[in-house]
């Protein structure tokens, strides 16, 4: 069974540009999460989809970040315009259901560098 996949693995952009990250969850997983690790800090939650609906977007840092999951399959996270502090590793995770106790399985991450 394929795991969570993310594209691209790395992205280097200049401040002010736009970047779109993609995540394909494990097949059949309705719950999809985005997380981010900024250098020197812990991994932090960004948002949670259940199918195509945003269940919780309390972790989104500001309105420069837009996440979508049209059709309830893959998800995209767009950063527009990117700022220096957006640099970090963006992880996507999925789980079979959203109940507590269910582990989440992570993708390899997208390493974003904003210059």
Partner 1 sequence: RKEVEQDPGPFNVPEGATVAFNCTYSNSASQSFFWYRQDCRKEPKLLMSVYSSGNEDGRFTAQLNRASQYISLLIRDSKLSDSATYLCVVSLVNQAGTALIFGKGTTLSVSS
101 binds partner 1 (CB under 8 A): yes
3-state secondary structure the chain: CCCCEEECCEEEECCCCCEEEEEECCCCCCEEEEEEECCCCCEEEEEEEECCEEEECCCCCCCCEEEECHHHCCEEEEECCCCHHHCEEEEEEEECCCCCCCCCEECCCEEEEEC
Stretch that binds partner 1, among 11-19, 64-72, 74-82, 95-103 (CB under 8 A): 95-103
Closer of 56 and 68 to partner 1 (Cβ): 56
Indicate whether 35 belongs to the interface with partner 1 (CB under 8 A).
yes
- Judged by CB under 8 A, the residue of 13, 26, 38, 59 near partner 1 is 59
């Amino acid at each position: 069974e394929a795991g969570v996949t993310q594209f691209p693995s790395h992205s280097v952009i200049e401040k002010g540009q736009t970047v779109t990250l993609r995540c394909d969850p494990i097949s059949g997983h309705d719950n999809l999460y985005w997380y981010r690790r900024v250098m020197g800090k812990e991994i932090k939650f960004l948002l949670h989809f259940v199918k195509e609906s945003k269940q919780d977007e309390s972790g989104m840092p500001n309105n420069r970040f837009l996440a979508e999951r049209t059709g309830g399959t893959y998800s995209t996270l767009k950063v527009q315009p990117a700022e220096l502090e957006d640099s970090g590793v963006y992880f996507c995770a999925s789980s079979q259901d959203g109940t507590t106790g269910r582990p989440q399985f992570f993708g390899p991450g997208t390493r974003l560098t904003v210059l």
